[in-house]
Amino acid sequence: MSITRSLLTAARSRGRRAAGRLVHRGWRWVQEVGAVSNQQPGPYRFGELGDGSKLAFPLGTVFNEQSIAIGPFCIIGERVTISAGFLPGLDLGPEPIVRIGGGCVIGRGSHLVGHQSIVLGDNVWTGPGVYITDQAHEYRDTELPIGKQWPRNEPVEIGAGSWIGTGAVILPGARIGRNVVVAANAVVRGEIPDHSVVAGAPARVVRSWTPAEGWQPPIRHDAPRPLPEGVTAEQLRALVGWDLHIPE
């Protein structure tokens, strides 16, 4: 009896392992087939979807994609919401409401919710769970529910090369300069100068760079070691496994 029980247990274990492998292979196939690109757009008709860009499956909510422009060589992570307007089926005019530049990476679970104008420059990367919106609730009437009050729109712009950390919130009217670091969980409003690091809620500049003074306050850790001389781009791509670039 014990031998029979052991054989049954082993058979069940092998069956579960085989089923697990099958499920994971099937899910990888679904992810590959469900991903959206300009070669494989599925049901979506973006205003622009550049060569080499891909929206990972499963997608988040996508509203009015005809008013969304995504440049070349972008990676849009899983469950990223990109919406133009607050309802599907809106006619928002000929110009894009949400424009994502080339070489951008949008972390999984992020939200870009545009009503007037959200512009991301080239090579803007975000961590997961970032929220970017150009619309805020109003609270002028103390008797009317806040959700029913007419909202306020202000354009948002994020400069090329910036990094937006995990869980950051970019509020209406934010104008973030080039090569800016926004720390995790920061809440950004107003204008942020080029080459700065901001943190906090509301976010404030905690480090900045100028040609005359360099980084202030100075960076405490050592600089990364330079690449060995003679390393080619092909060798780097082979090492890293991928290469994001904007075509010349």
Task: Measure the CA–CA gap between 207 and 151, rounded to whole angstroms.
Answer: 34
Closest C-alpha to 176, from 167, 10, 186: 186
Q: Burial level of 120, CB count in 10 A (0-12/13-18/19+)?
A: buried
- Say if residues 155 and 116 touch (Cβ distance below 8 Å): yes
Active site residues: 137
Helix extents (H) in 2-153? 2-34
Burial 187-214 (b: 16+ CB within 10 A, else e): bbbeebbbbbbbbeeebeeeebbeeeee
Query: Could you tell me which residues come within 8 angstroms of residue 34 by beta carbon, excluding any fewer than 6 positions away?
Result: 42, 57, 58, 59
Cα gap 53→46, rounded to integer Å:
12
